[in-house]
Amino acid sequence: MKIKFLPSILFQILILITLNGCTEAPTMTVNLAFESNKYESQESIIANVSVTNVSDMALVINSRFNPNDPVMPEIMRDITFLVRDPQGKELDFLAKINPAVSKLEDFILLAPGEQLSTSIDISRYYDFSSSGEYEISVSYQNTLIPDNMDNVWVGNVQSELVILEIVEN
Q: Is the pLDDT at 1 greater than 80, yes or no?
A: no
Q: What pLDDT is recorded for position 21?
A: 31
Average pLDDT rounded to a whole number, residues 8-35:
55
Domain that holds residue 43: 25-167
Q: What pLDDT is recorded for position 79?
A: 93
Asked if residue 8 belongs to a domain, the reply is no
Cα separation, 111 vs 109, whole angstroms: 6
| Residue 41 DSSP code | T
Residue 61: CATH number of its domain: 2.60.40.2970
Q: Is the pLDDT at 38 greater than 70, yes or no?
A: yes
Our count of domains for the chain comes to 1
Asked if residue 11 belongs to a domain, the reply is no
**Tens of pLDDT along 45-95?**
999 999 999 999 999 999 999 898 888 878 778 999 999 999 999 999 998
**pTM for this model (two decimals):** 0.81
Asked if residue 128 belongs to a domain, the reply is yes
